[in-house]
Amino acid sequence: MRILFLHQSFQSLKDGGSGRGNDFARRLSERRHAVTCLAGTFNYLTATVPPEFKGRLSVRERLDGYEVVRAWTYEGYHKSFGHRVLTLLSFMLTSIVVGIREQRPDVIAPCTPPFFLGITGYVLSLWHRAPMVYEVRDLWSEVAFQLGIVKNRWVIWAVRRLERFLYSRSRYVVINSPGFIEPLQALGVPPSRIRLIPNGVDLEQFRPIPEARERVRSENRWEGKFVVMYAGSIGMANGLSLMLDAAELMRDESEILFVLVGDGQQRADLESSARARQLENVQFLGAVPKQRIPELLAGADAGVATLLDIPLFRTTYPNKVFDYMACGRPTIIAIDGVIRDVIDKSRGGLFVPPQDSRALADGVRWLRDNPQEANAMGLRALTYVRKHFDRRNAEILMADLMDELNASLKSSR
């Protein structure tokens, strides 16, 4: 079967990224499916377009048994909300043009966010007369509404109608969190067409590396510090001013260090705020290749996961939490909902109320003052994630779904 994945932010190991999309493509190619990923040229980790992609409508490359076709994308994603929308719209248009030129696939599989890729998927499914499997990794538009980024009621009405339409035209809607089931059913998606393929972690890449701890701590001047690390996107939704507020409350506790690893629209503002507040207990490392995150976590003592406190974020499974768990780190989680359930069931960390800086500071102090229990939390988290959130299981579920669809298509011919 020929499968055309649509994944704007697709990053392979070669690009310093990798993740769920790369793993799905590799697993499906191993099952002898012909897989092509249609992706953007803008690298979200480095916030640049590589020179070899500039000035070209599309570039094709071969990776791990499948093909990646990159369509021209405007490179203004991190400048402002308006530029971000232009980046997304530019790829929607160029991916339609490039996708039409591709050999006819048997199935179209758009991955959102952004929901604009659902439009691309629908157009290409009509053009190629192929069913659409719609993977929803984040209820992105609803987040924008709840955060107040989009306030115009007519825009909200139109987007919700469009989402209903796209879901209704999908053979299956694939989700990565059980928290998405109820919102999708409220939008009219019948349970028979919802397939849960939970988020997980690559346990070969993310693992404890105790031998790297002293080297990493020496390289980053963390000796004698209790290092609390956030590793992920630094955007508006992440609510990372919480870490600065907690750091300000702990400025006199010199052994505590808050480290933020990653990049995003809010990074410059947060760095400026930390300087203005003279927070010497906060360190920004910027974007690093994903392969380096396990080593950095080996040098840390705990991971932090935080999001703004809106109802929709209670439905999500943030990848970074599984990364921390797989590296044997206890997690301080300032997110309520389904991901809190994971930490509670694993007994692999502490929950603190979202956006409560004093509670976060108290959680950091507790882990610092109880090192044996903190280490035990990390070990319990590692055991739990290995049992329940091995990404290889998600790869198998996606491959099984595509095999099932392939058999159905053959029987209907």
pLDDT at residue 56 in the model? 81
pLDDT for 21-80, tens place per residue? 778 888 888 888 899 999 888 666 556 666 677 778 888 888 878 899 999 888 766 666
Average pLDDT, the chain: 89
pLDDT at residue 104 in the model? 93
pLDDT at residue 276 in the model? 96
pLDDT for 354-381, tens place per residue? 999 999 999 999 999 999 999 999 999 9
pLDDT for 125-140, tens place per residue? 999 999 999 999 887 7
The pLDDT of residue 147 is above 80: no
pLDDT at residue 78 in the model? 60
CA distances, 27 to each of 24, 37, 207, 391 (Å): 5, 13, 21, 11
pLDDT band at 290 (very low <50, low <70, confident <90, very high): confident
pLDDT at residue 79 in the model? 67
The pLDDT of residue 158 is above 70: yes
Partners of residue 172 on adjacent β-strands: 133
For the segment 80-102, the average pLDDT, to the nearest whole number, is 86
pLDDT at residue 43 in the model? 67
- Of the listed ranges 7-21, 277-291, 378-392, the least confidently predicted one is 7-21
The one-letter amino acid at 222: W
